[in-house]
Chains A and B, each alone.
Chain A
């Protein structure tokens, strides 16, 4: 495009916009992890306090709307749907820039922007794209993903929630589970059975209004004790045919797109930088526990760091490939497997370092808090499709091994 600004020019414009509204983040020195300071929470899954979460929502919406108006909410999106039409490298550069500012966190939009919007862009009709894509990127609408059911986990194609045609609308009845953010969502991408068979050709995708009569959302308390997910009950919920995504019977293809974005989002967090997997944090934990001189602990620390770093190196090479326009390899799916393994390894490591301080809360800062990693780690092997299902997929699609008969 002839009116594409140079990257420096674009970043200068973006920086001016951010600087006019948001404070700079405290310097590296101040944000670095300090033993005993601030919260000692080390959450594996986002389990925010529901009240705080609801209060934060208007601030997030305001920030996204301002970003949209400045042309920065969807930098790589096509211009016909309100995107900026710039290369992905611009978007990546902007994301790096945002890290230097103190901005409202947008974890509540991960599903909307990372999974549902790309699905709509790929499979929806023109009218739906024009309606939903700007709304999702502005956070006027927040979306969730209604896929898994009590009877359809790894075998997702066994979905039994039914959509029954009724004139120019559909009536949806069934139960969905493991729905992140359903309690905040305005709209849900739902996969329903619209014919008894054949398998994979009997499913259809819709966007269901989460505020419609007949939709009930209940928090799902997982083994950590918190509730990062929901159960969603649908009882004769009306959906206009205009809210159908893709053709009748094409729901499986739509779901596959969403799932591939989900795995990519999970795989992207497979390395330690800041946060719970930071090397600095682990070293301070070891020193605090008085274990820094123990050869067994030093060896285990070296091993854990090796696994975490190699996942990061893989990811950086993958990002470099994307930047230079090379096709992605199997790394994203492999990173998700690495994340599962690394979470489990981290749980084992902190357990060996902390000993009894991990199994009972003495009130000592930064110790018992690690139980949430121990309790959350098994969930990572299941999220985004179990590791076993993912391995089936990699075996068939990447290695070209024959399907199990």
Chain B
């Protein structure tokens, strides 16, 4: 049923989900060690997350061995992921790959591929580019190169767009195929590495209709943007906490710097963007869950607001901390890096603004 108003109520179960995820991420946090590794990924905590909480299965319907939760629950989990700067391929596997498979409506592909993603045994990501696909017997082979894939260097499965005679189509490619070469790129965001992938005669499976990728990609990205916005809202909330805590204890001129209006007002402006960002991502998630006609605009509004809010708050967080905030050892730059990278990941703020004008019919 299409409803005209989103349901904005959160239940006790939602609070419980939030605190469970927060506790898990705090207990397994080792962001700084992990970011120094080549893969930027801690496989043991990923496994633990799947076994103890089943978070990788969150959006996967029960018939594909998932938890069958929706966008509202996902918004909560992604907010917590963003707070904790979680470095595993959660966004790639859940927000991008799971959504792409679900949006494809391809029951067979979902049945074959989603249970592995849900169990955390398959790490998947999405690559959008103009490769080409040619028929090869019953299957397809792909040529092309793709850049900026979140966690592409550790993925087992790629969902890739490529052109066929029928138009842009979606394919699934396994990283184990000899035609696939993936490597991590040095990335601004140390907690979410991007990768480049080259496909040279890689065996592929068509997902959805031949020529049907344009719509699949649009709805996948609309969904993924809500997850990204939630991450951004969570990251911004953490930056605010860091700033306020520091402003209370750091003394200069014989008093806490938080008693200076220049600092206090900046913190209030950060609070405003944090609260509004959290509201925007939650509202968009509720619209998506309820299937309201407002979603296409609300999703882009959340993307635009949360992206620029996080970048601004992460930037001001460094300023509030002064010199210590500009050191390698302090975590402020990890959020700063993540915020700049996230704001650009699924189109940037200007592109969201233009999309809002388009979608409102201007």
Contacts and interface: CB of A to CB of B under 8 A. Distances in A.
Contacts of B268: 337, 391, 394-395, 398-399
B297 A338 contact: no
B275 A395 contact: no
Contacts of A316: 8, 283
Contact of A388 (B265, B277, B360): B265
Given A302-B304, A331-B275, A404 B261 contact: yes
A393 to B, nearest CB: 9
Smallest CB-CB A-B distances: 5 pairs: A302-B353, A313-B283, A395-B264, A401-B258, A302-B356
Contact of B271 (A292, A324, A394, A402): A394
A301 interface: yes
Contacts of B275: 314, 329-331, 334
Interface string A268-299: 00000000000100010011000010010011
A320 B282 CA distance: 13
Contacts of A337: 268, 272
Given A298-B362, A317-B279, A334-B276, A306 B353 contact: yes
Contacts of A303: 304, 353
Interface of B: 8-9, 244, 247-248, 255-256, 258-261, 263-265, 267-269, 271-272, 275-277, 279-280, 282-283, 297-298, 301-302, 304-305, 350, 352-358, 360-362
A266 interface: no
A400 interface: yes
A153 to B, nearest CB: 17
Nearest to A312: B283
Contacts, number: 137
Contacts of A98: none
A299 B265 contact: no
B287 to A, nearest CB: 9
16 contacts: A300-B353, A302-B354, A303-B304, A306-B304, A310-B302, A313-B276, A313-B279, A314-B275, A316-B283, A334-B276, A337-B268, A399-B264, A399-B267, A401-B258, A401-B259, A402-B259
Contacts of A394: 268, 271
Interface of A: 279, 283, 286-287, 292, 295, 298-303, 305-307, 309-311, 313-314, 316-317, 320, 324, 329-331, 334, 337-338, 388, 391-392, 394-395, 398-405
By secondary structure, the B interface counts as helix
Given A316-B8, A402-B259, A299 B301 contact: no
Nearest to A394: B268
A395 B301 CA distance: 27
Contacts of A391: 261, 264-265, 268-269
A298 B362 CA distance: 8
A392 B271 CA distance: 13
Nearest to B274: A334
Contacts of A309: 280, 297-298, 301
Contacts of B360: 279, 283, 305
B305 to A, nearest CB: 5
A310 B248 contact: no
Contacts of B272: 334, 337-338
Contacts of A338: 272, 276
B16 to A, nearest CB: 16
Given A314-B275, A317-B279, A404 B260 contact: yes
A402 B276 contact: no
B267 A395 contact: yes
A65 to B, nearest CB: 34
Contacts of A329: 275
A395 B283 CA distance: 26
Contacts of A300: 353
A295 B301 contact: no
